[in-house]
Structure 1
Amino acid sequence: MATTWLPPAEFIETLPRATAYACLYFTDTHGRPLQLRATWQPELWQWPGGNMDPGETPWETAVRECREETGLVFEGRPRLLATHFTSHRAEQWPANHIGFIFDGGELTDAQIAAVVLDPEEHTEYRLHALAEWEREMNPASFRRLVEVDQARRTGATLYLESDDGH
């Protein structure tokens, strides 16, 4: 098989496109996950996080986005709970999307009370037990929540794939 060497910039043009996000998964001291309601899609609940900026690492993205979206300054160490791959859906997003979900640990009552949302991104935050979240979320997003919660409880790192756009 003959191969032709391409300069890096040309070779990169032949590769699949992907964007990346990173977030922090928090619970309160009772193990209830914290999620934020998205302004742009009110039925969508998210963890504090967002898309990576050029030159950022996934960890830097998670910490920055958490601060911007909640006012919380996270100073813990990176512990990856899961990676999430969402396949290309041309009508919704013209690239694959890869996520890094880090463990944010447990928030105290004082930390929760200090949350200040960015009103352009989120309208509210909630802490619920998993059974309550099941009633609030679409099935695919809820499955991801349960799996990430289990990864946190067991100490295992998880790999997820989806094509649901969430």
Structure 2
Amino acid sequence: MSSPPPRQCAAVLLINERGEVLLVRQAYGRQFWGLPGGIVDPGETPLGAAVREAREEVGVEVALEGVVGAYLLQGGGWPDIQAYVFAGRVLAGEPRLAAPQELSALAWCPLGEWPSPLLPDALAALEDLRAGRTGVVRTVQRHVSLHGVPL
């Protein structure tokens, strides 16, 4: 019997005209920082999820322009998650806290100067972007803790 495929999540990496990356802070748990994104719903594609999550979380319409990376998040005693991070640009709207029950803050951060704690998929994508890599496919081991349990 084979194991079920990993759960999927998708996020969008947005960069402004100053070269800063939009990061959002969770309003729950350890309040990790990450990219606008979330779980891919049943029947939805990762591309569709990234666009939907940008609209729901930060109130902007985005165009996806490429794949930063596909990251298989493993370890830490949690189920594997397949995370897709897409490069995008804002088509309409100004980023704002559109889902205060999910997010407590947003910030435009210079590349390499991001807040902590940072979600493993966001960290992997930002490291790859900073190194000039796109279209990355790799496994990421979780080394952060959520409620005292490694993530």
Secondary structure of 2:69's aligned partner: strand
Distance verdict in 2 for CA 1:88–1:19, change over 3 Å = farther
Total equivalences in the alignment: 143
RMSD: 2.7
Equivalent in the alignment of 2:6: 18
Higher normalized strand content (fraction of residues): 2
Equivalent in the alignment of 1:81: 68
Distance verdict in 2 for CA 1:131–1:59, change over 3 Å = closer
Equivalent in the alignment of 1:159: 137
1:97 aligned to which of 78, 81, 94:
81
The alignment status of 1:124 with 2:105, answered yes or no, reads: yes
Secondary structure of 1:84's aligned partner: strand
Secondary structure of 1:67's aligned partner: helix
User: What is the distance in 1 between the residues matched to 2:113 and 2:49?
Assistant: 29
Q: How does 1:37-76 map to 2 (within 5 A)?
A: 37-74=25-62, 76=63
Larger-gyration structure (1/2): 1
User: What is the distance in 2 between the residues matched to 1:139 and 1:119?
Assistant: 19
1:139 offset after TM fit, Å?
A: 7.5
Q: How does 1:102-113 map to 2 (within 5 A)?
A: 102-105=86-89, 107=90, 111-112=93-94
Higher normalized helix content (fraction of residues): 1
Structure 1 residues without counterparts, runs of 5 or longer? 1-12
Q: Taking every aligned residue pair, what percent have the same amino acid on both sides?
A: 24
1:163 offset after TM fit, Å?
A: 2.4
Structure 2 residues without counterparts, runs of 5 or longer? 145-150
Equivalent in the alignment of 2:116: 137
